[in-house]
Structure 1
């Protein structure tokens, strides 16, 4: 599109900025509660909430309290929540068998939420790091993350989550070929309606630290994740990954982290025109909260501005820890 603009003073851009009603009429991008997915952390126990120090305002919740949170989300109009488990370290193994246990913490949480609040969509995390004694998203042998063996484990994990009632599976592992393998097994097992929101462009980022605290993976991680997560320098590679995951059966795609990768979000939406999401990750959240706590920024305004940036870049929705606060403000 080539803009046609009259010369000054015929054209005065400030005319449409004079007061709120005109600014709203001329607004190009809208932020809605329909754009929000709320990531939540679940832990064992009853009536248990554990604050996460590196994520002020975020807590791990026992299943009973998570169900209450799901009711709150539904009342606010939030369409989906995404469940992440804090797994007992005693259950973590080399082969990650707890990941596909039908009665693991995550699957019990899925069933409880879908029973109590059936109208809310439940998304899951498909990766082995919460169950891996080495802290990695795949199975490790002799210091090497094994791709094909990990995919086999992830497929079993996906099937267990679908059978527990998950509506959306979120493979965040970045193993090659896992989307096609998951889709084939889901179709064969009668779970044809379970959607896959693939973390197709997930970068090896330094922004994930607080999240690893939240799921108890920080101390367990040996080495780094650079052999499977993307190089932050690469953009064209992200397009190839998006194309591959769509061809293998992904219904939606994710860019992670979010705000440092808005260029990737824009390229994905422009090039493929598919439902495109971003994850405003723990480090992004923590930086806004820390700066607001110190009085350096207006936290509420920056929160809303940051989410508007995702929409402006072309995202159809955002996973954000701010979801309940934003939903309340937009009500």
Structure 2
């Protein structure tokens, strides 16, 4: 299901407590409660722990968690007691594995432990199957799902027919921002590209602000700055903007120019993912979209410059259908 989130909170009253004050002790207390709850839900027998001795509490003991994670008993005890101690990424990784935390729980652990850069989590979450059904049900409207870094996670057939160079790209470059700034100008699909670049980078900068210091995000910015001096120049301006509804004009070798309204919806069930839908901005585009529904475009299309324009076979989808990784490059 797709939700649009609206913030209805009131501004802080004058003289009230400064936001974030005493956040450290509260965060450590929350961390202590969280670790205890995760420890108590584990079955000692399944983890190879002896069960013959009487246990006063359910789940693992603190010393057993420390043993399995390869950390000191005193250190782990202090961590679970909410004491102010430093926790490295490597140690928290070991604790997360021992406690059998899923991705959301692992990220929660890092933030409660006040790790400044949440590390890349390698396991994939799943997009709900209904998301692909929604994408397919929107045809002939081109629609896709992207994450905060603009990686393209899922799409429908209309999107593939319009942007085959994106869906055919290697996974590490299947990214709308990367495509916008690195596609050859001789066959770039965006007619009004110059009007849109500053806004795209400013929107990306706003999302990047939630991930400053994270290796995957920093590496992506570094790679794109190296690949596109144009992006590097806009990035250096530090522009910040919110998303919204925008008119875009595309150039298609078979359909000609298409004027669309691009609208973005947040997916509440998948953090930091958005569904992007293009709707016709004029009657001519609306008629051309019917050709996308019928999937009757000629094969072997090329741009005047000679570059190919080959949509993937209809049955082909993402390399890992329904899967996505939030912090993967």
TM bucket by the smaller chain?
under 0.3
TM-score where L is the length of structure 2: 0.25
TM-score in terms of structure 1 length = 0.25
Which structure: larger Rg? 2
Higher relative strand content = 1
